[in-house]
């Protein structure tokens, strides 16, 4: 099923390239990149609202106006670029530019001297974030309502499914990393970040949702890592800052070496959080899509080769999807655990 869906999507990407030859890199980037539409299957897509801030005010319209007005611009004798126009705007590689005199490209096929519009659109990943938030609200309000209704009695139904996960984050992540007396302050955030990442990752594994790559987007993980950095910095106690800015019982020459490293570590830690989550989630999508691409690459040589490789690729894709289900949970757990460890280091009391 997944092969068929992604295969049809790949054919539409290949057709949009206009070259008549399958482009594996283009297909993979098309699926892992953000977009102004949610591509379902074949030519069917959910077109998202385009919201642009101009000097005259706000301009709002459906992205279908772009995707139904395709234009082509020759780069050289062997290749051409495809873009979309609507009114005063150009959509090129999912970035919106002011039309001006038309699209201009440099020798690498990138937009040249093109004014970028202030794009506040609801893109595929933004829609995914809203959907994740909605699911989280439904989950937590449902569980809270069940606790309010049943009190301290044994949980039932969906409450019984959620309680072990909530207790897992509190008892196995927050308390061991931060401390029993201090963890309660951070548990709400840790629960939120855990379920946000986990649900986002699961949404990215549903093919007919357009291949959302929410936590595989640097801008999303950067915000998550920045929040962790702010919470750590605000809650840092005196011993935390002393050990960073002027470590006790350390010779001054060594301090002059350690202090810059410790200060750099303040920013490296959230940077590692951001890059690690983005890279791991994106890598999983790329591996699955690469095996989809093999079917079409060999299929161009002969139908027999395409079917032969397709069987192996399909089996491996099924295996990878089960692995990705595990990775979706593990990445949420690791991010939450590392955040808890940073909080624990910040609020740790001095040892005597």
Cβ atoms within 10 Å, residue 351: 5
| Distance separating alpha carbons of residues 4 and 73, to the nearest angstrom | 31
- 3-class secondary structure, 235: helix
The verdict on 114 and 212 lying in the same domain is no
Report, as ranges of residue numbers, the positions in the chain whose pLDDT lies below 70.
1-20, 74-79, 101-102, 106-109, 113-115, 350-352
The verdict on 192 and 117 lying in the same domain is no
Query: Would 352 be classed as within a structural domain?
Result: no
Query: Would 28 be classed as within a structural domain?
Result: yes
The verdict on 162 and 309 lying in the same domain is yes
The verdict on 60 and 193 lying in the same domain is no
The verdict on 13 and 29 lying in the same domain is yes
- Among the three residues 62, 96, 123, which one is the final residue of a domain in this structure? 123
- Residue 294: closest CA among 316, 311, 314, 309: 309
- Among the three residues 63, 93, 123, which one is the final residue of a domain in this structure? 123
- Among the three residues 108, 123, 138, which one is the final residue of a domain in this structure? 123
Question: Looking at residue 177, what DSSP letter applies?
Answer: H
Q: Is 125 buried (19+), middle (13-18) or exposed (0-12) by CB count in 10 A?
A: buried
The verdict on 83 and 223 lying in the same domain is no
Query: Would 218 be classed as within a structural domain?
Result: yes
End-to-end Cα separation, the chain, in angstroms: 62
| Distance separating alpha carbons of residues 170 and 207, to the nearest angstrom | 32
- Taking each helix axis from N to C end, the angle separating 2-17 and 24-32, rounded to the nearest 10 degrees, works out to 110
| Contact assessment for residue 81 and residue 72, using Cβ atoms and an 8 Å cutoff | yes
The verdict on 199 and 215 lying in the same domain is yes
Query: Would 253 be classed as within a structural domain?
Result: yes
Q: What pTM value is reported for the model?
A: 0.85
| Contact assessment for residue 108 and residue 98, using Cβ atoms and an 8 Å cutoff | no
Per-residue pLDDT at 341:
95
Per-residue pLDDT at 109:
66
Query: Would 168 be classed as within a structural domain?
Result: yes
Per-residue pLDDT at 74:
67
Domain that holds residue 315: 125-347
- Residue 225: closest CA among 310, 125, 338, 302: 338
What is the rounded average pLDDT for all residues in the chain?
A: 83
Query: Would 275 be classed as within a structural domain?
Result: yes
Helix residue ranges per DSSP H, the chain: 2-17, 24-32, 64-67, 124-150, 157-168, 175-178, 187-203, 218-235, 238-245, 252-301, 303-347
Query: Would 87 be classed as within a structural domain?
Result: yes
Per-residue pLDDT at 43:
75
The verdict on 333 and 296 lying in the same domain is yes
């Amino acid at each position: 099923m997944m092969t068929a869906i992604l295969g049809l999507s790949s054919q539409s990407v290949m057709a949009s390239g206009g070259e008549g030859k399958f482009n594996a890199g283009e297909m993979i980037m098309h699926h892992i990149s953000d977009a102004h539409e949610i591509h379902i299957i074949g030519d069917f897509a959910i077109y998202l609202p385009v919201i642009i801030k101009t000097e005259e005010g706000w301009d709002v319209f459906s992205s279908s106006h772009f995707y139904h007005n395709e234009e082509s611009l020759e780069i050289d004798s062997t290749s051409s670029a495809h873009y979309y126009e609507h009114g005063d705007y150009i959509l090129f590689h999912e970035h919106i530019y002011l039309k001006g005199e038309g699209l201009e490209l440099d020798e690498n096929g990138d937009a040249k001297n093109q004014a970028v519009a202030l794009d506040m659109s609801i893109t595929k990943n933004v829609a995914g974030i809203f959907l994740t938030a909605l699911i989280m609200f439904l989950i937590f309000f449902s569980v809270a309502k069940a606790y309010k209704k049943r009190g301290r009695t044994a949980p039932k139904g969906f409450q019984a499914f959620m309680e072990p996960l909530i207790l897992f984050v509190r008892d196995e992540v927050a308390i061991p990393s931060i401390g029993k007396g201090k963890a309660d302050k951070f548990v709400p955030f840790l629960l939120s970040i855990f379920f946000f990442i986990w649900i986002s990752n699961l949404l990215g594994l549903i093919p007919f949702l357009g291949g959302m790559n929410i936590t595989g987007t640097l801008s999303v993980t950067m915000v998550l890592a920045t929040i962790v950095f702010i919470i750590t910095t605000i809650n840092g106690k005196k011993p935390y800052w002393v050990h960073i800015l002027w470590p006790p019982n350390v010779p001054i020459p060594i301090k002059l070496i350690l202090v810059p490293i410790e200060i750099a570590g303040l920013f490296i830690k959230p940077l590692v959080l951001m890059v690690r989550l983005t890279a791991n989630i994106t890598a999983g999508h790329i591996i699955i899509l690469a095996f989809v691409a093999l079917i079409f690459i060999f299929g161009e040589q002969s139908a027999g080769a395409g079917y032969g490789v397709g069987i192996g690729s399909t089996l491996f894709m099924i295996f990878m999807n089960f692995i990705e289900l595990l990775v979706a949970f593990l990445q949420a757990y690791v991010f939450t655990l590392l955040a808890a460890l940073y909080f624990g280091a910040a609020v740790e009391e001095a040892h005597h």
